[in-house]
Structure 1
């Protein structure tokens, strides 16, 4: 939405694994369905790590002269991407979006500083409850759990970021 449905983006993945494949697949499916004029220039694995996120973003910045947006599947990776962008001296990236709900990133979203950090996504604690409930039902009652349980993530923007700030917690 921040790019008005147009632009060139890159995305930083975690690492090749089922959860990362699901995140990337959902991201790409949503772009294709809702923002077909957005071009994905490239993706890079950053292994859920700030330093690797910075290195991956440095390479993407060198390779692509125009990047309008960055999506990182993890907030630690996002922090590295922001560092690389700030060090580069470029001003083309208009929006960064993360994933994970790290308090440092939620505060950036809430404060609008840096202004390019527009949102992050939190993975709600209900996911843990659903997993425990499924395990309990299986162990106690022999009930085979559903193959897939979908629990929607929550998008954190400036408008609702205050609801997701938890003193003393990293997430």
Structure 2
């Protein structure tokens, strides 16, 4: 599909992030997995340094990278270091895995906008990390909240857009 791109982000438990992003206009596919860590072939029980991340495939004619990041900052708390809800540890960090300098620059711009808004009680602590490799999670974690509608999530849409 010539009008699609992928973005890699992490914002706590990947189940909740995926559940909300799959419903966002312009998102054509989501997959949860592990990114930014130390080992090859990480698993749910063995992913040192990896964040629980999400690969989002989006249609560039409907939404852009900036729009994806705007939504990202509306559905998780980017001001807590290594924590979302009850989940704690570096697996649950807020991170953007940029694929090029343009994405890094846009991420920095969006972070500045979010900080300036003062909608969150603290400043954004999202790490900007170069993309290396995304490892898909085990099948039982894909579409988890569709399979378990009452499953745990700490994600929700908290604000309207940060963008004008």
Normalising by structure 2, we get a TM-score of 0.34
Structure with more relative contact order (C-alpha pairs < 8 Å, separation 6 or more): 2
State the TM-score, normalizing by the size of structure 1.
0.33
Q: Which has the higher strand share?
A: 2
Larger Rg: 1
Q: Whose helix proportion is higher, 1 or 2? A: 1
